[in-house]
Amino acid sequence: MRTRRRTYTAATPPSLLPTVSGTKRRQVQSCSGSKKNKKSKCIISGLWDLKIPSDLVQEILSRLGLKASIHASLVCKAWCEAAVSVRKFKPRPWIVYRNDRTSPTSLPYILVDPWRSQSQTYKFDVSYMEEHAISYSRDGWLLVRAFGQYFYRALFVNPFTNKKVYLPNGPAFFDGYSLAFSAAPTSSNCVVISYNQIIRTGDVLIFSWRPGESKWTKHRFLGKAEDWRRWDKCVFSNGLFYCLSNCGHLGVFDPCEATWNVLPVKPLPAFNWEGNTPEIHRKPVLMTEHEGDIFVIYTPRDKRNRTKVFKLNLKQYVWQKKRDLGGLTVFASFPSSFIRAGLSAEERNRIYPPLTHGIHYSSSHLPLGSCVSSRVAWVEPPHNMA
């Protein structure tokens, strides 16, 4: 009698799969993981007869590169689930900082992975630049602004590959202008903006550039002299550039529609004026984003000196104070700050300033001046180096 061949797919339950004699199937059991008798998954590694806690497997798999992670996910279903879960999270950023040593053999910048004690160094030609500073960091690239006695210019630098992309010359790099970009210069979604507000007229000037273009595109938005502000914080989120002024106002530039609008959001307490000096000039105020949410972080001038975090509610146009970071981790620096999810319990709800005087701080209290230097920045590593 002829029987129909049965096919099995990835969705077929394991209980319906035929057993193979002579082999021992890997299983997933539960074991007590705390004093409260909470159960957590443990993975029995088949012939090894060892129980590996699932959180330990995730920690191991999180340290693998993309190719090795894919290979590890083929071991069993439980490993596949663990590998996919940690693969979704972005890696921790590295630190790049200016080397102040004057030795001819010393490198001008040092790239460090502070999480694994694996330091790397890189060098790019700055011999023709009298001064230069890191303006922005995103997608593993640094936007560096250089200025000499008779010129201003900017370039992209990838510290992991030492690749450089030069931007066209123009007034976009003059003193007073701030720089930001939306994606790596190798991406078709890359847009670079240089923005400023003219003191004399109050007009907002924004220069935009995309890879492949030979010159900058100028956008001028009329304003009033009495409304002058300095816009020195910027993040890119959901296709828009959000710019924060030194008075706490929030402006939005749409690079596709070439529009500029100031949102009706009440400024934060960090921008209150006391004795003709706003708090923002005394304490570092940082701006970052995570999955479409905009955050502002600052340390108020009070006795406790505790860092405060606010999240933008775009529906109600208000800043909402957060008691904690909701399990997130902030890597804060003046050029750019990054937020990561899914890190270890010890790293959650923490703010990590970059390297300062040889010390890497990991505290919810920001050391004064640790985040306001343009000579040190966090930079996102590629997945094969994470």
What is the predicted pLDDT for the residue at 386? 59
At which of 56, 88, 120 does a domain end?
88
Whole-model pTM? 0.71
Is 341:89 a contact under the CB 8 Å cutoff? yes
Average pLDDT rounded to a whole number, residues 223-229: 77
Check whether residue 254 and residue 276 sit in a common domain: yes
**What residues contact residue 89 under an 8 Å CB cut-off, 6+ apart?**
62, 340, 341, 342, 343
Check whether residue 50 and residue 158 sit in a common domain: no
d(CA 55, CA 68): 18
d(CA 232, CA 211): 23
Is 131:142 a contact under the CB 8 Å cutoff? no
**Residue 102 has which token pair?**
């004057």
Whether 328 is covered by a domain: the verdict is yes
Q: Where are the beta strands (DSSP E) in 159-249?
A: 163-166, 178-181, 192-197, 204-209, 217-221, 231-237, 240-245
Look at residues 64, 61, 62, 43 and name the one whose alpha carbon lies nearest to residue 52. Answer: 43
At which of 71, 88, 105 does a domain end?
88
What is the predicted pLDDT for the residue at 194? 93
With a cut of 80, say whether residue 363 has pLDDT above it: no
3-state SS, residue 242: strand
Check whether residue 61 and residue 159 sit in a common domain: no
Taking only Cα atoms into account, the Rg of the chain, rounded to an integer number of angstroms, comes to: 25
Whether 338 is covered by a domain: the verdict is yes
Better-scored residue on pLDDT, 365 or 241 = 241
Whether 17 is covered by a domain: the verdict is no
Whether 3 is covered by a domain: the verdict is no
Check whether residue 343 and residue 257 sit in a common domain: yes
DSSP 211: T
Whether 349 is covered by a domain: the verdict is yes
At which residue do the structure tokens 């955050």 appear?
A: 295
Check whether residue 48 and residue 147 sit in a common domain: no
What is the predicted pLDDT for the residue at 132? 75
Check whether residue 227 and residue 303 sit in a common domain: yes
Check whether residue 154 and residue 215 sit in a common domain: yes
What is the predicted pLDDT for the residue at 342? 77
Quickly state the pLDDT bin for 343 (edges 50, 70, 90): confident
With a cut of 60, say whether residue 55 has pLDDT above it: yes
User: Across the chain, what does the average pLDDT equal?
Assistant: 74
With a cut of 60, say whether residue 277 has pLDDT above it: no
Check whether residue 135 and residue 55 sit in a common domain: no
Convert the pLDDT of each residue in 155-177 to its tens digit.
Answer: 898 988 888 899 998 776 666 78
**What residues contact residue 38 under an 8 Å CB cut-off, 6+ apart?**
32
43-60 burial string, b = 16+ CB within 10 Å, else e? bbbeeeeeebebeebbee
Check whether residue 64 and residue 101 sit in a common domain: no
The percentage of the chain sitting over the pLDDT mark of 90, rounded to a whole number, equals 27
Is 371:334 a contact under the CB 8 Å cutoff? yes
Number of domains in the chain: 2
Q: Which range (14-28, 36-50, 224-238, 278-292) has the least confidence?
A: 14-28
At which of 30, 62, 88 does a domain end?
88
Check whether residue 205 and residue 58 sit in a common domain: no
Whether 153 is covered by a domain: the verdict is yes
Check whether residue 213 and residue 118 sit in a common domain: yes
Whether 105 is covered by a domain: the verdict is yes
Q: Which range (13-22, 55-64, 234-243) has the least confidence?
A: 13-22
Phi, psi (rounded to 5 degrees) for 176: 105, -15
Whether 362 is covered by a domain: the verdict is yes
What is the predicted pLDDT for the residue at 360? 42
Q: Which range marks the domain in which residue 291 is found?
A: 94-385
What is the predicted pLDDT for the residue at 204? 92
Convert the pLDDT of each residue in 301-332 to its tens digit.
Answer: 555 667 788 999 999 999 999 888 888 889 98
Convert the pLDDT of each residue in 116-136 to its tens digit.
Answer: 655 555 555 554 455 678 899
Beta strands at 350-352 and 329-331: parallel, antiparallel or unpaired = parallel
Check whether residue 80 and residue 143 sit in a common domain: no
